[in-house]
Amino acid sequence: MSSCLGPRAQHGCVSFVPSEVRWSTMRRAPLFITVLLTVALAYYVYTPLPEALQGKWKLMLMDAAFRTVIKFVSFTSFPLTHFTEAFNQIIIIFGPDFLPGVKMTEETFGGVPVQVYEASEREGRLRRGLVYFHGGGWALGSASKCSATYDKLSRVLSHELDAVVVSVEYSLFPEVQFPVPYLDCLAASKHFLSAEVLSKYSVDPGRVGVSGDSAGGNLAAAVSQEIAQDPNMSIKFSVQALIYPALQALDFNTPSDIQNHDGPILSRDSLVIFWMQYLGIDLSLLEKIKLNQHMSLQQTLLTPELRARFDWRKLLSPKERQNYRPMVPEKGLDGITKKVPALLDVRASPLLADSEVLSKCPKAYVVTCEFDVLRDDGLMYVRRLRDAGVEVTSVLYEIGFHGCVGFMVEMELVKRAQTDYVNWLRENL
């Protein structure tokens, strides 16, 4: 029913809606808002994952939580100088998962804080030794604070391998950038590899390995290369175990980068930002770096020989290359390799090492995951190590994702990846 009061009201006619209609509309409004919010949340949480992956909703929720924390600390007024500091404070809430029979002591090796994990001592028997570098984009995480992952992993490794595990608390961004984290890890490793220290912890000098995941895998590969070719080191690592390592910062358009650009836990954007922070590149160049303008043909320091060391057209199999095409711009960011020499530094990008250096490296275990932007970094390194004559065990998890070896949620894939990792070390270290 409607009413218009005279000629003056013709253009401002007021409509009267029955009360039962208004009440019905009011009742539908909260339902509409709820549905809208549910759809928005589902869109935010949902990440495309293989059907065969068990417990994938746990992974989606973990990924959403990770992204939420990053956004939260990025856009709120925390009394900290950088969001990575805030994130590192937040992850302290995870309580330690202690394993009976394993003790942890805090020490300083080569001026660097470390946590030393020891299984129950066995008189008259030398033990294995393992140096571990945690992941986190050279900015997040901790050997001890992130106890739901790295503390637990170190305890499991020490217990299962009857090993002395040294987890290194290297310096992080924003306090430091490359090469400080690398130098910290190198100093701690050299200290542990001294005959005196190994004797103190009853470690067999011929059974000491180095390992790490993601950014920690990068550091493990770089430190392994340096120690392998150092004539002053009488004791060297006998094995290296690299878990989805980040090994180069020149091509961010590999097949795995494109395929998994918005993958769980580590997206391509996050990967590029972590690299830029680590190497000291202005974040205003983000979009240009994502387009590989830092490796354009203008970069005269990037010789054909260097380019061949990360040329996935030759280093990946046809199955891995699929139908992707390389992105090598003719022009862009002219002179950036001179302004940021770390881009071509093998200590930052171990994949760029020459074959002679690689040939001296210890036998390797390299884990890669199909649904991971870093998959092709690991696979290219496997190929280069094998071409240099190094014995390599390469494990590609077809339904794997970045972070699965140290994941905090119970999943069959996680258990299998951890078991495979421990078994390889038991057999080869």
Catalytic residues: 214, 372, 402
Angle, to 10 degrees, between the axis of helix 412-428 and the axis of helix 152-161? Answer: 40
Cα gap 137→7, rounded to integer Å: 72
Residue indicated by tokens 């590192």: 88
In this structure, the chain runs to a length of 429
CB atoms within 10 A of CB 27: 9
158 within 8 A of 119, measured Cβ to Cβ: yes
First vs last C-alpha separation in the chain: 86
The DSSP H or E segment spanning 41 is helix 19-45
Cα gap 270→273, rounded to integer Å: 5
Nearest to 120 by CA among 150, 167, 160, 154: 160
Nearest to 15 by CA among 6, 7, 4: 4
Q: What is the dihedral of CA 345, 347, 348, 354, to 10 degrees?
A: 60
Alpha-carbon distances of 179 from 134, 184, 191, rounded to whole Å: 16, 9, 18
Buried/exposed code over 84-99 (b: 16+ C-beta within 10 A; e: otherwise): bbbbbeebeeeeeeeb
Backbone φ, ψ for residue 227 (5° rounding): -70, -35
Side chain identity at residue 331, one-letter code? K
173 within 8 A of 273, measured Cβ to Cβ: no
Cα gap 63→263, rounded to integer Å: 9
Backbone φ, ψ for residue 344 (5° rounding): -110, 10
Here the tokens at position 288 are 């240009």
Residue indicated by tokens 């980040």: 246
